Amino acid sequence: MPYLSIDFPGGMRVDAHLKNFVIKSDQPVTSGGEGSAPTPFELFLASIASCAGVYALSFCRNKGIDTKGMKLSMNLERDSETGLVSKVTLDLTLPEGFPEKYRNAIVHSMNLCTVKKHLQNPPEFDIITS
């Protein structure tokens, strides 16, 4: 049984089936899609921020810190020659009353994100046909 499977429901849409979830993706109209869902690359970027967000949330929960008003945003810089992302900046807006003594610790916690770790130590990829 595969970890996940992909099907192609039409157009440029690609659906990933993982456990009991369907993760939909599409391409923008300018790339031949319908723009009905995020692109796979946008989902990849969202996974980075979501993962870091889970670590920030867990940190606060473990310390008993209220997360009301906490937000996380992502900004990207791209290489002008390749168009590839050259820098990702995650900006965590801390909740009101967040203890200053934990500022560095929550950043450290977010740096433990599993998605980020895989980018820093990428797996080997095998692409086969059957």
Domain span holding position 7 = 1-37
Q: Average pLDDT in the 8-28 region?
A: 97
46 and 106 together in one domain: yes
User: Which stretches of 4-129 are DSSP H helices?
Assistant: 40-63, 103-110, 114-120
Q: Please state, in angstroms and rounded to a whole number, the distance separating the CA atoms of residues 75 and 82.
A: 18
Are 31 and 43 in a shared domain?
no
State CA 96 to chain mean position distance: 25
> In terms of domains, do 19 and 72 share one?
no
Instruction: Confirm if 115 and 47 have CB atoms less than 8 A apart.
Output: yes
Q: Are residues 107 and 65 in the same domain?
A: yes
Q: Are 85 and 61 in contact (CB under 8 A)?
A: no
pLDDT > 90? residue 1 = no
Average pLDDT over every residue of 7-33: 97
**What are the tens digits of pLDDT across the range 44-88?**
999 999 999 999 999 999 999 999 999 999 999 999 999 999 999
Q: How many CB atoms lie within 10 A of CB 18?
A: 12
Give the total number of structural domains in the chain. 2
Tell me: pLDDT of 126 over 90: yes
Together in a domain, 30 and 56: no
The reported pLDDT for the residue numbered 38 is 98
26 & 48 share domain: no
d(CA 24, CA 79): 28
For 49, the token pair is 């921020």
Tokens encoding 89: 């900046």
- The token pair that represents 37 in the structure block: 């869902």
Report the mean per-residue pLDDT for the chain. Answer: 97
